[in-house]
């Protein structure tokens, strides 16, 4: 690896490690995400548990609920990634220490690990509580990975924007919703296909929608890398 | 010169309104209520003007990030404000027409959904501007958000038609490259679209100048905004 690339990778790793070290000091995001997800899981399970909804309706409705739980948990915990830097007035030091692209990638990795941990925690519990069978586990895993990445990258950029605004808490939901809506429609469609399995043209739906999901992830990543320096540097 | 152009624009719009009611035929084929089609001459150009606001805001945002000229930022904001205005008008006229044609004000038709999402985006953009005090920071953040919006919304054009089927007729220029409307109707529609596009840019020019003046006033003196 060339010296420039290795120093860039070292910056990314340093930001990532620093994020998790700060996170373990307060456990703010971990607690918020886990508790929010747990509360919503309990509410959905109590009101719509195995007895509450017919199996046929369940495969249409429950994927939507799963992604809503993930979306709102993310909205409750992730904005912290940048807001904390502004509040503790460490943003300027960070601006001096890391190049914007390395900082963006480091924060993105942190958000990504957080979202993946959330998905690993929530999805099995959700599927068990709702007794929702999955016909195509491979497709579900792919959707959770690509969808989780999309949630993380979109949220990271929006979090960087709102950290510099006045009303941080509410603004995140307002700004992230139009950006994440195409992603959510795609992942819900794919999760339904993974759950329903053999019904209809599963292969062709996944063949069309999965590339679109990957394209969304790629476009938002490129836009994030290009726009982040503008958002971050005064 | 500007005054003359403005008068020409008003004359053009007046002619379009006259033509919509007196030149275009009284009833059009392929409609449930043939005589109700005239709203088309206003509904379609309004949706088009709203779309122009969306594209315009992204273009001016890119220009701002390249030049850092505050005027470009205010032009992007004005484009969003007008996009919101025309978007609401297109939604309302569309809903009224949908009630007459399809029996429902709202049915999550793909174009209704796309327009609604763009309205949400306009609202979010304006909320972001309202939440930042420093003009330079506000311009940077808003420009980044406008460009991000343009990157993600095209996905809706793939996704939404798959989820709900459309009751909207085929576009004026469809896959066969032929208009499905009678020539009288498409002539008036074209004239109206040209008129509304010009109206959009005329209003945009006025609004941008107003925003520049307001910004100057709040900054308490000339801050180097271009004339």
Residue-level pLDDT at A80: 81
pLDDT below 70 — which residues of chain B?
29-30, 161-181, 221-227
Kindly report, residue by residue over A120-141, the tens digit of the pLDDT. Answer: 999 999 998 888 888 888 899 9
Residues 129-148 of B with CB under 8 A from A: 131-133, 136-137, 140-141, 143-145, 147-148
Between CA A106 and CA A15 the distance in angstroms is 5
Whole-angstrom distance, CA of residue B81 vs CA of residue B85: 6
By the 8 A CB rule, do A43 and A129 touch? no
A205 C-beta neighbours (distance < 10 Å), count: 18
Q: A152 CA to chain B: closest CA distance, Å?
A: 15
Q: What is the mean pLDDT of residues A52-81?
A: 86
| For testing contact with chain B, the best of A178, A181, A192, A231 (most B CBs within 10 A) | A178
Looking at residue A131, its pLDDT comes to 82
As for the ipTM of the complex, it is: 0.89
Task: Return the residue matching tokens 């709040």.
Answer: B218
Based on its alpha-carbon atoms, the radius of gyration of chain B, rounded to whole angstroms, reads: 19
DSSP E strands: which ranges in chain A?
none
Look at residues B44, B86, B114 and name the one whose alpha carbon lies nearest to residue B201.
Answer: B86
8 Å CB contact of A174 and B159: no
Select the highest-mean-pLDDT range: A70-79, A80-89, B68-77, B106-115: B68-77
Q: Is a pLDDT exceeding 90 seen at residue A187? A: yes
Question: Could you give the percent of chain A with pLDDT greater than 90?
Answer: 44
pLDDT (tens digit per residue) in A189-221: 899 888 886 545 556 677 788 888 999 999 999
pLDDT at residue number A207: 79
Q: Give pLDDT, residue B227.
A: 44
CB contact under 8 A, A164 and B120: no
Give residue A65's pLDDT. 92
Residues A36 and A118: beta-carbon distance below 8 Å: no
Q: What is the mean pLDDT of chain A?
A: 87
State how far residue B29 is from chain A, nearest Cα, in angstroms: 36
Sign of CA dihedral B45, B47, B52, B57: positive
pLDDT in tens, A26-47: 888 888 888 999 999 988 888 8
B67, B122, B131: best mutation site toward chain A, by most A Cβ within 10 Å?
B131
The predicted structure's pLDDT at residue A14: 92
Q: Which residue of B has its CA nearest to A222?
A: B151
Q: Do B124 and A178 touch (CB under 8 A)?
A: yes
Whether B23 and chain A come into contact, CB under 8 Å, resolves to no
Strand, helix or coil for residue A164: coil
Residue with tokens 């292969």: A203
Q: Mutating which of A181, A186, A209, A218 best tests the B interface, going by the most B Cβ atoms within 10 A?
A: A181
């Amino acid at each position: 690896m060339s010296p420039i690339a290795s120093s860039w990778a070292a910056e990314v790793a340093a930001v990532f490690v620093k994020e998790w070290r700060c996170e373990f000091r307060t456990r703010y995001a971990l607690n918020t995400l886990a508790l929010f997800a747990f509360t919503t899981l309990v509410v959905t399970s109590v009101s719509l548990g195995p007895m509450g909804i017919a199996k046929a309706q369940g495969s249409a409705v429950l994927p939507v609920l799963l992604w809503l739980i993930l979306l709102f948990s993310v909205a409750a915990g992730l904005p912290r990634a940048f807001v904390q830097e502004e509040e503790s007035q460490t943003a300027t030091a960070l601006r001096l220490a890391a190049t914007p692209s390395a900082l963006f990638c480091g924060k993105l990795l942190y958000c990504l690990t957080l979202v993946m941990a959330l998905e690993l925690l929530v999805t099995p519990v959700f599927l068990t509580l709702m007794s929702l069978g999955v016909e195509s586990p491979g497709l579900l895993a792919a959707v959770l990975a690509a969808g989780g990445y999309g949630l993380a990258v979109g949220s990271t950029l929006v979090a960087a924007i709102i950290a510099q605004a006045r009303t941080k808490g509410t603004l995140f939901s307002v700004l992230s919703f139009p950006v994440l809506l195409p992603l959510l429609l795609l992942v819900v469609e794919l999760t339904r296909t993974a759950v329903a399995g053999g019904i209809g043209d599963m292969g062709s739906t996944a063949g069309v929608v999965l590339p679109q999901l990957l394209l969304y992830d790629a476009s938002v990543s490129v836009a994030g890398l290009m726009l982040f320096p503008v958002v971050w540097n005064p | 010169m500007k005054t003359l152009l403005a008068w020409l624009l008003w004359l053009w719009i007046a002619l379009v309104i006259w033509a919509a009611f007196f030149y275009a035929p009284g009833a059009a084929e392929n409609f449930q209520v043939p005589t109700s089609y005239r709203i088309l001459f206003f509904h379609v150009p309004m949706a088009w003007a709203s779309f122009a606001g969306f594209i315009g805001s992204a273009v001016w945002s890119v220009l701002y990030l390249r030049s850092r000229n505050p005027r470009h930022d205010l032009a992007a904001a004005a484009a969003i404000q007008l996009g919101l205005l025309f978007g609401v008008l297109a939604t309302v006229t569309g809903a009224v027409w949908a009630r007459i044609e399809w029996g429902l004000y709202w049915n999550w038709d793909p174009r209704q959904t796309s327009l609604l999402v763009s309205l949400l985006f306009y609202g979010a953009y304006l909320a972001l501007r309202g939440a930042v005090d420093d003009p330079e920071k506000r311009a940077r953040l808003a420009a980044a958000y406008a460009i991000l919006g343009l990157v993600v919304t095209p996905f809706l054009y793939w996704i939404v038609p798959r989820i709900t089927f459309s009751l909207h007729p085929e576009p004026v220029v469809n896959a066969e490259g032929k208009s499905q409307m009678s020539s009288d109707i498409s002539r008036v529609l074209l004239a109206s679209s040209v008129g509304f596009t010009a109206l959009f840019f005329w209003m945009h020019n006025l609004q941008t100048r107003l925003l520049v003046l307001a910004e100057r006033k709040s900054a308490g003196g000339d801050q180097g905004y271009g004339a």
